[in-house]
Chain A
Amino acid sequence: MAQAAGLSQISTTSGQPYVSKLVLLGSSSVGKTSLVLRYMKQDFSNVLPTVGCAFFTKVVDMGSSSLKLEIWDTAGQEKYHSVCHLYFRGANAALLVYDITRKDSFHKAQQWLEDLEKEFHPGEVVVMLVGNKTDLGEEREVTFQEGKEFAESKNLLFMETSAKLNYQVSEVFSTVAQELLQRAGDRGSSSQEGEAVVLNQEPAARHSQCCP
């Protein structure tokens, strides 16, 4: 994937923020759009199913540097599945979102990971597994442990969120942004194509590392 190297192509010396493409994938109505709207607008409302893909941008300020996220919020409905791989071309990061009250959506997230693995080299994309709707804890079908173990087995970042209650939503995006910056930095200093990335554990988040 030639485009996937986009992040490292952009120089920091010009003062321009890094630009990274983040794509949200997952079953229909797991809350992809709700996560994005919560993050972008601090808003939670009933949204209609996404058609194709919706686009957002957000500059994440990370202290010394900043990162511009191009957020691709894809349609989860199965009828768009055949075109969805068009959307993750050239992605730098992916959120695999599932609904903790729906086991099938968890399995679907795993399928999305397989699709990503076909398209990218290991470690080429920052992938985070996101279990949404913790506000519906009593209907939970996927335990925190299940999500965490799967993420660890595949070297994914992992978080549980509630777009409705605004629980850990901005943390998801800032963690991914941090990871992207770190990888870009490592790549720049070691001038090796992402093979020697070592991560620091995020202090606040309960997630695994995602070394290649």
Chain B
Amino acid sequence: MTDGNLSTSMNGVSLMGILDGRPGDSLQDLQHLNVKAPRSVSVPDYGPTLKLGALEDRHSLQSVDSGIPTLEIGNPEPVPCSVVHVKRKQSESEVIPERAFQSACPLPSCAPLAPTSSEQEQVVRKSSTFPRTGYDSVKLYSPTSKALSRSDNVSVCSVSSLGTELSTTLSVSNEDILDLMVTSSSSAIVTLENDDDRHFTDVTLSSIKETKLKEAQRRKKQLEERCKVEESIGNAVLTWNNEILPNWETMWCSKKVRDLWWQGIPPSVRGKVWSLAIGNELNITHELFDICLARAKERWRSLSTGGSEAENEDAGFSAADREASLELIKLDISRTFPNLCIFQQMLTYFAAFEVFFEENLPKLFAHFKKNNLTADIYLIDWIFTLYSKSLPLDLACRIWDVFCRDGEEFLFRTALGILKLFEDILTRMDFIHSAQFLTRLPEDLPADEVFAAISTVQMQSRNKKWAQVLSALQKDSREMEKGSPSLRH
């Protein structure tokens, strides 16, 4: 994996943040990274029930969110998350009363939760590297109804990230619950007094109790599941920090590490692992990065003020400096960086993709062919954005995990995995519906199902691997293009 490959696919957005990672000082930084774990962990890993709003919403959210994992590498301050929180479409005033209402409602049944919360404390003590208390205490009085919106989840995260003293947060939350219990039971008394029909009231009360009990059980179960997930992530964090990262060179390609990698890298170590996986062939230091960034910003300013006269203004701009020109990046990445093959030779990549498509999913391949549904229709949407537009952030992050390890091949393997997951639906769709479906994938794709589908995809065609198929096709296209240098289809 070279820097070049990564920046190719990062579409210019995340590249800088990644280079900003500090490959050298992993150990000193670990504590630091862990402190902000609740924020970074919770969005991608604890959000399997995320139900997103309108599609437009999702896209706008994702575009905001996609900065988070990157920011996290270089900027430990929790500020970006709070900013994200503020920017949510659902306003604070809408979120907060709702949560207050939810917490007040099922209160008499809060009692069974108490042991859970003390269990919680024990778990926390067991693996102190993984601070989850802040998150859970918030969760305790935020009943995890299925309709929990994404914005709600994020706001929860930011609350937890702001909780500096974890134990304080927990005790406060317990007091809150007691408080709310009193409030709630007194309101029940009021209802009793005002109601003439005793029997009806009894029935109503008992049915309310039943509902609340069920709700409490459901919540307890959810909490337990959450604990399990957290436990396993907590263990994974320990393994990554204590075993793998210190012995990176010897361990990174072992089966154990590969398996763990496939499960998704815990967000608190994600930055470290990505940096190590990508490497730093160009030996870019922080100073160099800052210098380049300042130059780029300067250039950007002069371009935006200079407008269309920028060309004349920079008459002395030598050809060697062309790569430094942001205007050219803006203009056309493929022409600016011809060495970033994935843009330049997109069509060759698509051709290679089709080889493996036919190999893995012959039925769907034939159906698409019959309908003139070419790979570019959906692959541009997926690959150009590294799935950040098409998939939920938590899932996209897991794809980037393996992409950092396996390279661009994995992007295409992912594409085949998605096609495989929806093979049955897609074979029943005509052209336009397939195109619409693939460029607007379902919003609640479960990460585990996607990864299970990806794992069944064989990147081998007649004993040839991805790289071999691709280079053969590239050779063909070079020979074909010898007559005409332009890249025409």
Contacts and interface: CB of A to CB of B under 8 A. Distances in A.
Most B-side CB within 10 Å, residue of A54, A56, A86: A86
Interface in B312-363: 330-334, 343, 346
A3 interface: yes
Nearest to B63: A48
A79 B333 contact: yes
Interface string B54-74: 001001100100000000000
Main secondary structure of the interface of B (DSSP, over half): helix
Nearest to A49: B63
A55 B372 contact: no
B489 A86 contact: yes
B436 A55 contact: yes
Nearest to B346: A83
Contact of B489 (A47, A55, A85): A85
Given A45-B56, A78-B330, A82-B334, A70 B381 contact: no
Nearest to A54: B439
A48 B384 contact: no
A121 interface: no
A104 B384 contact: no
Contacts of A86: 374, 376, 489
Contacts, number: 57
Contacts of B374: 86
Nearest to B385: A51
A53 interface: yes
Given A3-B372, A79-B334, A48 B60 contact: yes
Nearest to B376: A86
A104 B308 contact: yes
B380 interface: yes
Interface string A30-58: 00000000000000010110011111110
Interface residues of B, number: 29
B68 to A, nearest CB: 17
B55 to A, nearest CB: 11
Contact of B439 (A53, A79, A83): A53
Nearest to B334: A82
Residue with the greatest number of chain B CB neighbours at <10 A, chosen from A3, A56, A57, A78: A78
Contacts of B63: 48
Nearest to A68: B432
Contacts of A70: 431-432
Given A82-B487, A86-B374, A47 B380 contact: no
B332 A79 contact: yes
Contacts of A51: 380-381, 384-385, 389
A177 B162 CA distance: 57
A82 B380 CA distance: 11
Interface string B134-147: 00000000000000
B61 to A, nearest CB: 11
A53 B372 contact: no
A178 B331 CA distance: 37
Nearest to A37: B56
A55 B381 contact: no
A52 B376 CA distance: 8
A90 B372 contact: yes
Interface string A67-94: 0001000000011111101100010000
B148 interface: no
A81 B56 contact: no
B377 interface: yes
B435 interface: yes
Nearest to B434: A55
A82 B439 CA distance: 19
A47 B56 CA distance: 8
B332 A81 contact: yes
Given A79-B343, A82-B346, 11 more contacts: A47-B56, A48-B59, A51-B385, A53-B381, A53-B439, A70-B431, A79-B333, A80-B380, A83-B376, A86-B376, A104-B308
Interface of B: 56, 59-60, 63, 308, 330-334, 343, 346, 372, 374, 376-377, 380-381, 384-385, 389, 431-432, 435-436, 439, 487-489
